[in-house]
């Protein structure tokens, strides 16, 4: 919360709700529950969140397969120096990843093969409307204000550049479907095991008290 506040990024009021507010608003908050909006934290099964992990907040999202619903999603993420989100692509989703402030975001890129492995050859992407090209596994560094467009089937991993500080990262995309549209190069876990030794300050999107 302090980091978002320092960068003047304001979350919706329900980002701070406790159990009482969620129980009182269970009917009105159907879109939040159904589309998994809110806080999300993962260590990708690593058991080492600060090395391989991600903290994010889904601000808006549509419902996969609903042609009458929102066709877009938006997230904000906190990415620490050297904290890796591992190689993955999406079968359907195209997304823009935006450096909203703080340090620099390093994104490594590779095309995918027909059997969904890392491909060789050059990768061509759009960075704020400008065409950029790197070798397979090459890096593009986004400074605050810069963004990159990532089409479906394009492998990517990202992390904060060492020595530059924590990064506030935005994502604007097509509808997000974490259940069916994430292809990780190596098998991963999703939600970390939590030692429930005290009441949560904020609830994760998979644990709302309803």
205 contacts: CB under 8 Å, gap ≥ 6? 36, 37, 38, 39, 40, 58
Report residue 193: phi and psi, to 5°.
Answer: -75, 130
Domain count, the chain: 1
Residue 87 lies inside a defined structural domain of this protein: yes
Residue 193 lies inside a defined structural domain of this protein: no
Under the banding of pLDDT at 50, 70 and 90, the label for residue 7 is very high
Average pLDDT of the segment spanning 83-106: 98
Residue 176 has a pLDDT of 95
Under the banding of pLDDT at 50, 70 and 90, the label for residue 193 is confident
Residue 42 has a pLDDT of 94
pTM (2 decimals)?
0.94
Neighbours of 120 (CB within 10 A): 10
User: Which domain range does residue 104 map to?
Assistant: 2-184
Q: Is the pLDDT of residue 210 over 80?
A: no
Average pLDDT of the segment spanning 58-69: 90
Neighbours of 34 (CB within 10 A): 12
Q: Is the pLDDT of residue 65 over 90?
A: no
Residue 80 lies inside a defined structural domain of this protein: yes
Residue 27 lies inside a defined structural domain of this protein: yes
Residue 98 lies inside a defined structural domain of this protein: yes
pLDDT digits (tens, 9 = 90+) for 101-155: 999 999 999 999 999 999 999 999 999 999 999 999 999 999 999 999 999 999 9
* Pairing status of strand 147-150 against strand 95-102: antiparallel
Instruction: Find the CATH number of the domain harbouring 10.
Output: 2.60.120.10
Residue 136 lies inside a defined structural domain of this protein: yes
Residue 200 lies inside a defined structural domain of this protein: no
Residue 133 lies inside a defined structural domain of this protein: yes
Average pLDDT of the segment spanning 163-186: 96
The stretches of 25-118 forming alpha helices (DSSP H) are 30-34
């Amino acid at each position: 919360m302090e980091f978002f506040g320092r960068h003047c990024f304001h979350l919706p009021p329900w980002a701070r709700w406790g159990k009482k507010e969620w129980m009182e608003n269970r009917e009105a908050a159907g879109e939040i529950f159904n589309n998994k909006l809110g806080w999300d934290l993962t260590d990708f099964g690593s058991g080492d969140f600060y090395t391989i992990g991600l903290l994010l907040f889904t601000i808006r999202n549509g419902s996969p397969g609903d042609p009458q619903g929102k066709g877009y999603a938006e997230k904000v993420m906190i990415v620490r120096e050297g904290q890796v989100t591992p190689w993955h692509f999406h079968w359907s989703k195209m997304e823009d990843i935006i450096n909203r402030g703080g340090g620099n975001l390093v994104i490594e890129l590779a095309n995918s093969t027909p059997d969904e492995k890392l491909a060789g050859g050059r990768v061509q992407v759009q960075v704020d409307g400008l065409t950029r090209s790197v070798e397979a596994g090459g890096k593009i560094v986004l400074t605050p204000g810069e963004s990159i467009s990532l089409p479906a089937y394009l492998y990517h991993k990202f992390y904060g550049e060492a020595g530059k500080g924590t990064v506030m990262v935005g994502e604007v995309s097509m509808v997000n479907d974490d259940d069916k549209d994430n292809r990780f190069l190596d098998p991963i876990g999703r939600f970390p095991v939590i030692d429930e030794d005290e009441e949560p300050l904020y609830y994760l999107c998979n644990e709302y008290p309803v």
